[in-house]
Structure 1
Amino acid sequence: MSEPAARPAALPTPPALADAPVLAHVVRGGVVESAHRASVAVTAPDGSLEQAWGAADDPVFPRSSNKPVQAVAMLRAGLELPPPHLALASASHSGEAFHLDGVRAMLEGAGLTEADLQNTPDLPYDPQERDAWLAAGRAASPLAQNCSGKHAGMLAACRAAGWDPTTYLDPQHPLQRLMDATLADLAGEPVAATAVDGCGAPVMAVSLAGLARAFGRVAAADPGTDEGRVAEAVRAHPEMLGGTRRDVTALIRGTAGVVAKDGAESVYAVGLPDGRGIALKVADGGQRARPVILAAVLRRLGVASDAYARLEDAPVLGHGAPVGAVVAVGLDAGRA
């Protein structure tokens, strides 16, 4: 009988997770039922750390919050896309019909098809779209998966640069190396680690401060630059970045000049038009506290927005009726 495979050695828990302060309570019937730890970094227009809760310099995987930065790298590779498709290349889309039509158009414009997509097959992200997809008897597919816009953009960038599109997920592919360099450039620090994201593409780690710095630079960039083109596309077409029922779409639509992107494992990154950046990570990876904490940080920074009601809409239910809420706490104890 063969011996079982050895488990990898446990690594130390990063401070951004282990030592993060409690920044949200789950309240049921006036009683705190659960608590969420989170780390937040706020950077100034010059990129310096302005305020933090938890470990702002600890590397995290931004997951899909990296996508607008990755779209900048696609433009640096020579890709040309109309603004709606550039926003879709930055997206974790909901799988609505206009998203899927946009991905097909991006592929067709590069002389490619759905068969060229190498992202993980999945169902649409949005629950209503997922239910309709299943009711129609359709199986999981790369097209429906929320990262298909990014993958179509990566494939089209390979075509534009003359690189092999069949190996575009290899971390050593020229496109992935350019994405690494672009993230390091905008974050102002080297990439700390590279792993495989849920969609199969490389995912690169930077600190929360670096992620915030990158988003501040994208949001404040001149319109003619690659960063500025991504920012303008996202602002003009937030429904392509997220979807009809997504909080990230409501945030961009309701807040003048911002660039924002949500990410798996409860990451959120926001760039403000004055060059400030915000990045947060909820330690347990659960999504319910993510928009609530972000709304509290934005309010603390004095950001005017019509999206607060949407971000803070986090009821706790009992027998189908609201009996409490997820609420932000502890933001008075941040360090400057």
Structure 2
Amino acid sequence: MNQTTPLPSYAPLAEVVRSGMREGVHYGAVVGLSAEGEIAYARGPVHDPMFPRSSAKPFQALAMLRAGARLEGASLAIAAGSHGGEEFHAAEAERVLAAAGLTADALQCPPDVPGAPSARKAFIAAGRSPERRYMNCSGKHAGMLAACVAQGWSTDDYLDPEHPLQVLVREATEDMCGEKVAHTAVDGCGAPQLAVSLVGLARGVQRMRLSPEGTHERAVVEAMSAHPEYVSGPERVDTELMTRLPGLVSKIGADGVLVLNAPTGETVAVKISDGDAEVRSRVLVGLTALRNLGVDVSPVAEHLTTPVKGGGRTVGEVRAL
């Protein structure tokens, strides 16, 4: 496959130090918006298009509300979340479907096992087979289906980019991010994935936070921060950060993406170019940027570095550059 576009000029954001020697570097881009919406912190190609992956779920949830889906509280949080497949997550997704007169058979996300380590272990030990309702995006898919039912739209093709719901998602994304979608792809769950810039991602979530009380935009971020266990779940970093920093919105996306939004409006978006498969750099980079914007992150200060292990003990760290 020919490469027609040069790779972005990613910047070094974090270094891996083992026993006093640099072992590696995580490259990427990070942008921080002040409470007033100005770019106050930026490293790397923050204006280049990228796939926000699940960090874009707040925009998708906004489109669901605009379509008339009756989502609130936990049901809205899980629609904007990437849950760990705990039993209470699967049950909430099924409640959203049942309220729309549907069952889990209507879901078109791939069958999966729970993502949370303890839940996955118990699931496999019981000899159970993958199910769609345990896939981490089942809450989002349930919300999309509820929106389709509210509008009388077809549910068989709700993942088609030209479906009225997905057109509405695109409009909501462009509305919030303040820029046109640069490219449309297929996400891991089968839904359309829309490319925007890191600045656009940060600006979009910030605009939702700063929207007036009672608006759909504000409802999404408030549900996420009020019900962090449905956005992610036990043993997952989004839930931990939102629990320990009340009012924060944290949303990880696959392949190295993270967006953080403080209750006072400061917002950070991160993209780690190597995908950050072990989630060992994007959180510390994001929290460092948020701290540089003046936000107190001391309650989660241990996440400003990531331990590097050797022989069962800590022999180094991953730290921001």
Shorter-chain TM-score bucket reads over 0.9
Give, in angstroms, the shift of residue 45 of structure 1: 4.1
SS in 1 for 2:132: coil
Secondary structure at the aligned position of 1:143 is classed as helix
Q: Does the residue aligned with 2:94 lie in a helix, a strand or coil? A: helix
1:294 paired to 2:295: no
Q: Which residue of 2 aligns with 1:148?
A: 138
Per the alignment, residue 257 of structure 1 pairs with 247
Tell me the equivalent position of 1:316.
308
Question: Any residues of structure 2 matched to 1:151-300 within 5 Å, and which?
Answer: 151-286=141-276, 287-300=279-292
Task: Report the 3-state secondary structure (helix = DSSP H, G, I; strand = E; otherwise coil) of the residue aligned with 1:69.
Answer: helix
Deviation of 1:272 (Å): 2.6
Q: TM-score, normalised by structure 1?
A: 0.91
Q: Does 1:111 pair with 2:101?
A: yes
Moved more, 232-241 or 125-134: 125-134
Percent identity among equivalent residues?
46
Question: Residue 52 of structure 1 corresponds to which residue in structure 2?
Answer: 42
State the Cα deviation string for residues 12-49 of structure 1 (Å, max 9, x = none): 2431xxx2111111111111111101201122445443
SS across alignment from 2:15: strand
Q: 1:302 to 1:49 in 2, by over 3 A?
A: closer
Given the alignment, which residue of 2, 5, 12 partners 1:12?
5
TM-score for the superposition, normalised by structure 2: 0.95
Deviations 1:178-212 (A, max 9, x none): 00000000000011111000010000010000000
Answer yes or no: is the 8 Å Cα contact 1:214–1:277 preserved in 2.
no
Q: Could you list the runs of 5+ residues in structure 1 that have no partner in the other structure? A: 1-7, 330-336
Contact 1:91-1:240 at 8 Å conserved across structures: yes
Task: Give me the whole-angstrom Cα distance separating, in 2, the residues matched to 1:229 and 1:295.
Answer: 24
2:176 aligned counterpart, secondary structure:
helix
Instruction: Tell which deviates more after alignment, 22-31 or 38-47.
Output: 38-47
Moved more, 55-64 or 305-314: 305-314
Q: How many Å separate the matches in 1 of 2:281 and 2:273?
A: 10
**Residues of 1 paired with 2:318 and 2:221: CA distance?**
31
Q: Distance in 2 between matches of 1:126 and 1:248?
A: 13
Query: Helix, strand or coil: the match of 1:167?
Result: coil
The structure 2 residue matched to 1:40, chosen from 30, 42, 50, is: 30
The residue type paired with residue 293 of structure 2 is L
- Deviations 1:108-135 (Å, cap 9, x if unpaired)? 1111111110001222111221111111
Per-residue CA deviations over 1:130-149 (Å, capped at 9, x if unaligned) read 11111111122211110000
3-state SS in 2 of match to 1:111: coil
* C-alpha distance 276-305 of structure 1, shift in aligned 2 (>3 A): closer
Kindly state the Cα deviation for residue 51 of structure 1 after the two structures are TM-superposed: 2.5
Residue 306 of structure 1: CA displacement?
Answer: 5.2
Distance in 2 (CA, whole Å) between partners of 1:166 and 1:126 is: 29
The one-letter amino acid of 1:227's match is E
Q: Map 1:117-128 onto structure 2 (within 5 A).
A: 117-128=107-118
Change in Cα spacing, 1:111 to 1:168, as seen in structure 2 (3 Å) is same
Query: 1:260-301: per-residue Cα shift (whole Å, max 9, x none)?
Result: 211000100122333332111001111321111112112211
Q: Decide whether aligned partners of structure 1 residues 85 and 306 sit closer, same or farther in structure 2, where only a CA change above 3 A counts.
A: farther
CA distance, structure 2, for counterparts of residue 161 and residue 310 of structure 1 = 46
Measured in 2, the distance between the counterparts of 1:246 and 1:313 equals: 17
User: Contact 2:16/2:25 (CA < 8 Å) preserved in 1?
Assistant: yes
SS in 2 for 1:33: strand
Counting matched residue pairs gives: 319
| Amino acid across the alignment from 1:217 | R
Q: In structure 1, how many angstroms separate the alpha carbons of the residues matched to 2:34 and 2:141?
A: 32
Which residues in structure 2 correspond to 1:122-141 (within 5 Å)?
A: 122-141=112-131
Is 2:11 the partner of 1:24? Answer: no
Q: Which amino acid aligns with 1:320?
A: G
Counterpart code for 2:272: V
CA contact (8 A) 1:250 1:310 kept: no
Q: CA RMSD in A?
A: 1.5
